[in-house]
Amino acid sequence: MFTTLIIISLTLALLPALITVRNLRLYWPLPALDPKFHPQMSLLIPARDEEAQISGAVEAALKAQAVDIEVIVLNDYSSDGTAAIVQQISKNDPRVRLENAPALPAGWCGTQYACQVLSAFARHSLLVFIDADVRLAPDALARIAAYMRHHDLGLASGFPLQQTGTIAEKLIIPLIHFLLLGFLPIWRMRRSLLPALGAGCGQLICVRRDAYQAAGGHAAIRMSLHDGVTLPRAFRSKGIMTDVFDATSIATCRMYRGAAVLWRGFSKNATEGMATPVGLPIWSVLLFGGQVMPFILLPIGLLTAAPKGLIVCAAVAVGLVYANRIALKIRFRQSGLGAALHPVGIVILLVLQWTALVNWSRGRPRVWRKRAYSRASETE
């Protein structure tokens, strides 16, 4: 039995390590700024109670180089000073517009409706949706537009540099890159329109207007809380190519602040990603078996004087796990503490996913931004 577990854990540790090695050769930053290319782009920001973040997002965007830009912020029934801040900025820069969200219709997630409304206000053919906590570099938009044109994409999504503060953030948020690069075969994604291979980051998504309309826009995912996954898949289901790129050098984001907000944030869309009745048991085997079990089996083997070959295999599995995480830590400027405690982060992530699945199966609503989304409304 111990031998079998060692072989399984080594295999499951090797799989994402090999995929990551290949993906890192494909998942590179955007090409350098082309001074001859001057696109027109609409930057769209849904904002609900974002007074602490919105000015930073808008002001960073207004520094955009080599691009004609309009910045449209949709005030989604904010109860704080979000609207006043944007209005003040717009007085000094006509490229900024503040719009107010209509009442949220039944059957819509607030974020998806806000993005759909924003798309109607936009004037340009390239639409860029960002969260209010994203800060773009001056060359970001022009480089994204060039990437879209060069690869003839309908949608491209970037994963910004993820800034982390608390221990909980350092443990969980870097796992986004681990899961993306360890389990999504990017080489296959770029040769196939299979919706299941669609991936993205809701923090930063660029679309061509014609492709967006052909895919049904955000209306196609109106009840989703996980547009980073569901929007690319909606495009692919209509035969429109999507891609992902490394936005580490062109954008930053402090995703969640503190353990409580992080737990709610990851829980809200868990059942649209890993936490499905069929998918989560598989993910649990892959992640626990390959990323946690080697750290259990190695000391057991040492304490029980297991055969040397088995101990070596367990040690190799541990080494593969850490080699993978250290490579990601260096490439994406992640926390050293998070990398060192990688197995702990995996356990917490799995507990979070299973908790979300149990809550969903019991009919408990998902709550985000003071809005509740029931299971009944999702399946209507």
Q: Quick one: which H or E segment has residue 252?
A: strand 242-253
Give the model confidence (pLDDT) of 10-59 as tens digits.
999 999 999 999 999 999 889 888 888 999 999 999 999 999 999 999 99
Residue 268: the pLDDT is: 87
Location of each CATH 3.90.550.10 domain in the chain: 27-256
Residue 375: the pLDDT is: 58
Average pLDDT of the residues of the chain: 94
Q: Please check the confidence at residue 306 and state whether its pLDDT lies above 50.
A: yes
Confidence of residue 364 (pLDDT cuts 50, 70, 90): confident
CATH number of the structural domain 27-256: 3.90.550.10
What are the backbone angles phi and psi of residue 134, rounded to the nearest 5°? -95, 135
Q: Please check the confidence at residue 380 and state whether its pLDDT lies above 50.
A: no
Q: Please check the confidence at residue 379 and state whether its pLDDT lies above 50.
A: no
Give the model confidence (pLDDT) of 312-346 as tens digits.
999 999 999 999 999 999 999 999 999 999 999 99
Q: Please check the confidence at residue 261 and state whether its pLDDT lies above 80.
A: yes
pTM, whole model, 2 decimals? Answer: 0.94
Residue 29: the pLDDT is: 85
